[in-house]
Amino acid sequence: MACTAVTALGLSGCSLWPLRRQPAAPAGLAAESRQQPALSGDGRLLASLVDRGGRTTVLLQERRTGRVLPLRQLRNRQPHSSPSLSWNGRYLALLVQQGGRRQAVIEDRATGQQHPLFLPADQEPQQLSLAPDGQSIALELITGGSRRLQVFSLAAMLEPDRAPGLLESGGGPPLQP
Amino acid sequence: MSRQASFGAGLWGGALALLLTGCQAGLRPIAALNQPLSGLGDSQSPSLNSNWLALISSRPGSRAQVQLIDRLRHAPVPLPGLNRPDSLPISVAVDQRGERLALVRQRDDRSELVIHRRSLQASQVVPIEPAGVPQRVSLSADGRVLAVEVSRGGLWQVDLLELP
């Protein structure tokens, strides 16, 4: 039965779960090279890297419509890499170029604020992953020739960006049944 | 003039130090989680949420493998059926429940996209159509959408799949 469902959707071979493919390239971007996709926690937004005038630039779009959302704060800090989104897409974390080195930053799309994450000079960030609630971040760091992951709390820096229906911390008494 | 310049530099340095200190105060290492990470050897390809951290770790002389760390217990959990001796993981992502893992791995000189369900201890290879070479994967935290970077005909593209 599962095989039938998958075949009907155009996939080959037997499958445990049916999958549905969606064209990833919205109008006007079909022939453009796109790398390093990152989905928001709810899957509504897609960040990816595209080429803009020879500079690798992050592009934020609504996944279903392809509508491009503005990211004004990140101009002139290319090349961008390793985008990562929070649950509702309020926060976009990524690596930008700062002087001669990469720097991890978090853009708060709700306030327009940008939060740079300062690291010791001997630690170069290579990749990152922002927790969907925006309360912690994992950084892949090159230290002394080896790759290490370190996780940092952002609770003192960012408000939570949780899935709808979840209470904010300190947001009042629990709901009564 | 030089005194003014010196004063200005001092002010600038002080402001910068204050700025750095202020921002650093917001970025606090989570020692309880970083401690087990330091014992995993080289590690890369992080996928983080409030409950889980998926990553690829490798030690000298041994094969790279996917690790899933329980953030409540600060310890890796077993992943039966996922790590194979004949494959090399390239990119991994995990959903918020730690139930679904999406993985790109190299096996028999070709790259393949795999979805693994922990409760079933089962992995499914997802065909890339049209044919292409998957490289990097992202899974929405709700586990319902998968985005995979695919090299196809000299162009990098992003394929999207909706999962039931």
Among A24, A117, A118, whose Cβ lies nearest the Cβ of B159?
A24
> Side by side, which strands form the sheet with B155-162?
A20-22, B155-162, B145-152, B133-139
CB contact under 8 A, B136 and A157: no
Shared domain check, B67 and B16: no
Interface probe for A, chosen from B140, B144, B150 (most Cβ of A below 10 Å), is: B140
- Residues of chain A contacting residue B140, judged by C-beta atoms under 8 Å apart: 39-43
Give the gyration radius of chain B's Cα atoms.
Answer: 21
Interface probe for A, chosen from B16, B30, B48 (most Cβ of A below 10 Å), is: B48
- The mean pLDDT of B100-128, rounded to a whole number, is 96
Q: How confident is the model at residue B10 (pLDDT cuts 50, 70, 90)?
A: very low
Chains A, B: CB contacts within 8 A come to: 175
**Interface confidence (ipTM) of the complex:** 0.85
- Whole-angstrom CA distances from A144 to A121, A122, A123, B53 are 11, 8, 8, 23
Shared domain check, B15 and B52: no
- Kindly identify which residue of chain A lies nearest to residue B49, measuring between CA atoms: A131
CB contact under 8 A, B147 and A46: yes
Q: Specify the residue for token string 């890297």.
A: A49
- The pLDDT of residue A1 is 31
- Residues of chain A contacting residue B53, judged by C-beta atoms under 8 Å apart: 138, 149, 151
Whether B18 shows a pLDDT value over 50: the answer reads: no
Q: Which two tokens stand for residue B145?
A: 């959408």
Question: What is the per-residue burial (b if ≥16 Cβ within 10 Å, else e) of A137-149?
Answer: bbbbbeeeeebbb
- The pLDDT of residue B101 is 98
Give the model confidence (pLDDT) of B38-96 as tens digits.
999 899 999 999 999 999 999 888 889 999 999 999 999 999 999 999 999 999 999 99
CB contact at 8 A, A147 and A141: yes
B100 beta partners: B117
Give the model confidence (pLDDT) of A113-164 as tens digits.
999 999 988 899 999 999 999 999 999 999 888 899 999 999 999 999 988 8
Shared domain check, B49 and B17: no
- The mean pLDDT of B94-108, rounded to a whole number, is 97
Quote the mean pLDDT of chain A: 82
Tell me the one-letter amino acid at B21: T
- The mean pLDDT of A52-79, rounded to a whole number, is 92
Q: Which structural domain range is residue B21 located in? A: 1-30
CB contact under 8 A, A147 and B26: no
Whether B160 shows a pLDDT value over 50: the answer reads: yes
CB contact under 8 A, A153 and B24: no
User: Residue A62: which of A46, A86, A42, A79 has the closest Cα?
Assistant: A46
Count how many domains chain B has: 2
3-class SS of residue A137? strand
CB contact at 8 A, A93 and A106: yes
Write down the domain spans for chain A: 31-153
CATH of the domain at B97: 2.120.10.30
CB contact at 8 A, B92 and B47: yes
Among B55, B96, B161, whose Cβ lies nearest the Cβ of A19?
B161
Residue of B110 and A174 predicted with greater confidence:
B110
Shared domain check, B79 and B8: no
- The pLDDT of residue B34 is 96
- Kindly identify which residue of chain A lies nearest to residue B156, measuring between CA atoms: A33
Q: Which two tokens stand for residue A62?
A: 């609504």
Give dist(CA A90, CA B154) in Å, integer.
33
Whether B124 shows a pLDDT value over 50: the answer reads: yes
- Residues of chain B contacting residue A137, judged by C-beta atoms under 8 Å apart: 48
Cis peptide before B60 (omega within 30 of 0): no
Q: How confident is the model at residue A6 (pLDDT cuts 50, 70, 90)?
A: very low
- The mean pLDDT of B17-43, rounded to a whole number, is 76
- Residues of chain A contacting residue B129, judged by C-beta atoms under 8 Å apart: 10-12, 21
Among B30, B46, B138, whose Cβ lies nearest the Cβ of A37?
B138
Q: How confident is the model at residue B12 (pLDDT cuts 50, 70, 90)?
A: low
Q: Which two tokens stand for residue A39?
A: 């989905």
Among B38, B48, B156, whose Cβ lies nearest the Cβ of A131?
B48
Q: How confident is the model at residue A172 (pLDDT cuts 50, 70, 90)?
A: very low
Shared domain check, B85 and B56: yes
Whether A106 shows a pLDDT value over 80: the answer reads: yes
Give the gyration radius of chain A's Cα atoms.
Answer: 19
Task: Tell me what percent of the residues of chain A surpass a pLDDT of 90.
Answer: 62
- The pLDDT of residue B125 is 95
* d(CA A113, nearest CA chain B) in Å: 13
Give dist(CA B1, CA A54) in Å, integer.
43
Whether A24 shows a pLDDT value over 90: the answer reads: no
CA angle B32/B35/B38 to nearest 5° reads: 155
CB contact under 8 A, A36 and B149: yes
Among B136, B138, B164, whose Cβ lies nearest the Cβ of A39?
B138
Shared domain check, B69 and B45: yes
Whether A25 shows a pLDDT value over 80: the answer reads: no
Give dist(CA A134, CA B92) in Å, integer.
20
- Domain A31-153 belongs to what architecture? 6 Propeller (2.120)
With DSSP H G I counted as helix, E B as strand and the rest as coil, what are the percentages for chain B, rounded to 5? 20, 45, 35
Q: Which two tokens stand for residue A110?
A: 């709700």
Give dist(CA B58, CA A78) in Å, integer.
31
- Whole-angstrom CA distances from B51 to A132, B14, B32, B164 are 10, 39, 14, 22
Q: How confident is the model at residue B26 (pLDDT cuts 50, 70, 90)?
A: low
Residue of A18 and A108 predicted with greater confidence:
A108
Pairing verdict, β A55-62 and A45-52 = antiparallel
- The pLDDT of residue A163 is 87
Tell me the one-letter amino acid at A96: V
Shared domain check, B67 and B5: no
Quote the mean pLDDT of chain B: 87
